[in-house]
Chains A and B, each alone.
Chain A
Amino acid sequence: MDAPVVRTRVGGPGSIQVQNLSHVYVGRDGASPALADIDFAVEPGRFVVLVGPSGCGKTSLLMMLAGLREHSGGTILCDGRAVTGPDPDRLGVVFQEANLFPWLSAVDNVAFPLTLRRVKVAERRRRAQEMLRLVRLEEFGRRYPHELSGGMRQRVSIARGLVQDPPVLLMDEPFAALDEQTRMSMGDELLRIWSETRKTVVFVTHSLTEAVYLADEVIVMSARPGRIIERIEVDLPRPRRYETMSDPRFIALRDRIWRHIRAERA
């Protein structure tokens, strides 16, 4: 209250605060720690990427942010309020496989979250169509998922994540199943959508190049139990282009992340 300007940035719409988060996985062979001492905050409108060795719990962490998975300790705040379950008004989720419903057309897939909210058909169609325009698929609304390419499906999935206009978009390796060329152009596409909507994005990936290319900040996690090793500020200029990837600073950042991960893998 004393410093309202600062407070709105930290606790305002689109902000995320993860405080002292931990998780113990209880399986058949007893309990094992999966995540420990996770502490970070994301300011509204920032693009944050989580990377780490396989099995470090980065997807689990993202699912916890989405309210889709329980955690054992600590708190997750979004807009300054605790996340206790799925909340599509605050957090949109985009999954690894586009996970579209094959029995719905593209436009109905995008409108699905609105259907659950019983938004009127005309309004639903209008907003879904607007989102399809944002991802440049306005011509493809009547197609079914099996009639779309992998990249198009993932764009429909992004449109679905954005249709309720949540301030935060959580993305779990959304381009992992795509070929390299599609993947690169999807990266640019995502940056364009992000710059038009100014959402807060938390993005999980295995690809270090993708991480540095997209991020304002890369959070590097350790092997299980996942902890934060380093938070790396990526101060490369935007808009980023293909040439950015051969910038010495880009390469230096990617090497630094790789050294962390290689040490963890050993």
Chain B
Amino acid sequence: MTSRLAIFAARALLVGCVLLIWEMLPRLGFVADDLLPPFSQVVSLLLQLLARPQFQMDIATTALEIVTAFAIAVPLGAICGLLIAESPYAARVFDPLLFFLFSIPKSIFLPMFILTLGIGFWQKVGFGCFSTTLLVLLSTQAAVRSVRPDHLLVARSYGATPMQVIARVYLPSMLPIVLEALRLALIFTFTAVTLAEMYASRTGVGHRIETWGENFMMPQLLAGVLLMSTTAIVLNEGIRWLEHRCGAWRT
């Protein structure tokens, strides 16, 4: 237990050191503070920004785009994944093609989304979905395949009905992989939406960050980076905690 505590302390110390160096470099004059404003200044600016209605609107826009894209991509990918995993024929036809698609960097398709959907809300959602669906689809297939046939045989030998097989064997077997897929899907959506906003947009946090960068507004830019990083880490760790709780048996 002490060693776990010690490791936690070492980690905290490391993060503290990095932030301290960030704070001290401009203050001691090693780096110009136009280029790297001190950490404390960035944090206080972020708090000011968060109080502004216009920035709140940007956050709401980005959040809504992410949630919408996620809400479409996950069921879509999951249903297609289930259908393909259930049919050996479909799996043999689709699998290599899906892997080809998966290997292509999705960002090169962004201009096409702008040409077809404009630079509004649905372009962000469309691109977010496009980037995420395939990942969910492949993960769902993997989750279905992780169900062991001998577990199904046990359930059958004790007279389980098809619904009981789904509820008591399929779902618990698949849950850890599904949660992991949800976590990655959220990060993929987050990345795609932010990228689309930075590329061409009039609203959203991504768009703000891009504008601040263009105009060399370092404190604002770093505040935006800090906000997005913290959000992504909190979301990721939240789902990871759930994964850990539901999948302790997987070790």
Contact = CB atoms under 8 A, between A and B. Distances in A.
Contact of B168 (A68, A88, A93, A116): A116
B232 interface: no
Q: Which of A86, A101, A103 has the most CB of B within 10 A?
A: A103
A113 interface: yes
A152 to B, nearest CB: 16
A68 B154 CA distance: 10
A103 B251 CA distance: 11
Contacts of A99: 150-151, 153-154
Interface in B119-172: 150-151, 153-161, 164, 168-169, 172
Contacts of A145: 249
B239 to A, nearest CB: 18
Contact of A101 (B169, B175, B250, B251): B169
B122 to A, nearest CB: 40
A80 B151 CA distance: 30
B157 A115 contact: no
Q: How large is the interface on A (under 10, 10 to 19, 20 to 34, 35 or more residues)?
A: 20 to 34
A165 interface: no
Contact of A68 (B153, B175, B251): B153
Contacts, number: 51
Contacts of B151: 99, 101
Interface of B: 150-151, 153-161, 164, 168-169, 172-173, 175, 248-251
28 contacts: A66-B157, A68-B153, A68-B157, A86-B158, A86-B159, A88-B157, A93-B154, A95-B150, A99-B151, A99-B153, A99-B154, A102-B249, A103-B173, A103-B175, A103-B249, A112-B154, A112-B158, A112-B168, A113-B158, A113-B159, A115-B168, A116-B160, A116-B161, A116-B164, A144-B249, A145-B249, A146-B249, A146-B251
Given A86-B158, A113-B159, A116-B164, 19 more contacts: A68-B157, A86-B156, A86-B157, A88-B158, A93-B157, A95-B150, A95-B153, A95-B154, A97-B150, A99-B151, A99-B153, A101-B172, A102-B249, A102-B250, A112-B154, A112-B158, A115-B168, A116-B155, A116-B159
